[in-house]
């Protein structure tokens, strides 16, 4: 933790790496499920990367402001650290799966996509458990309330991005 907190530039570059790989992964999912056609590939990839960047930047700003307003800056900093640490791990693990999805035949790409879904679900569960275990000692938060917070803050932006992309691209 201390080494990651001291290496600000490396941490920032890994966050950019996660956003780039995540945007390409979202594009590949959209293409695999035939929600988009092959036209304007670069524009769609840029839109996916930009949407993911806006979502996580908005989450970062919202949590920083909320922590400052309620006086729990150290708790929100810990929570942000866990979020972005798990995102860095997901970005590293998604890289080979994205390469497999790009260059392999559809049946093998389907297996890589299923593995990526499992990986993302496991990492989100790990993020939830790690965040709750760190924050439970500092704040008195019931598990149900924390789960509702996670669903509202973590899932809704992804669902909104999905809805926006389907309206824009279909």
- Which residue in this structure is represented by tokens 């970062």? 60
The pLDDT value given to residue 1: 65
Tokens encoding 59: 């989450």
- Cβ pair 39, 49 in contact under 8 A: no
Q: Does the predicted model carry a pTM greater than 0.75?
A: yes
110-146 pLDDT per residue, tens:
899 999 999 998 998 888 888 777 777 776 777 787 7
């Amino acid at each position: 933790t201390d080494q990651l907190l001291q290496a600000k530039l490396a941490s920032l570059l890994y966050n950019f790496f996660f956003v780039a790989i995540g945007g390409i992964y979202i594009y590949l999912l959209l293409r695999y499920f035939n929600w988009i056609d092959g036209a304007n590939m670069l524009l769609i990839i840029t839109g996916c990367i930009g949407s993911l960047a806006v979502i996580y930047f908005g989450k970062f700003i919202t949590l920083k402001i909320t922590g400052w307003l309620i006086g729990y800056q150290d708790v929100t900093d810990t929570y942000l650290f866990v979020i972005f640490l798990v995102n860095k791990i997901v970005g590293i693990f998604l890289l080979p799966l994205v390469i497999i999805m790009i260059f392999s035949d559809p049946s093998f790409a389907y297996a890589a996509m299923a593995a990526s879904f499992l990986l993302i679900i496991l990492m989100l569960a790990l993020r939830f458990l790690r965040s709750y275990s760190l924050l439970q000692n500092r704040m008195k938060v019931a598990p149900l309330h924390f789960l509702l917070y996670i669903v509202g803050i973590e899932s809704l932006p992804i669902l909104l991005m999905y809805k926006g992309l389907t309206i824009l691209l279909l």
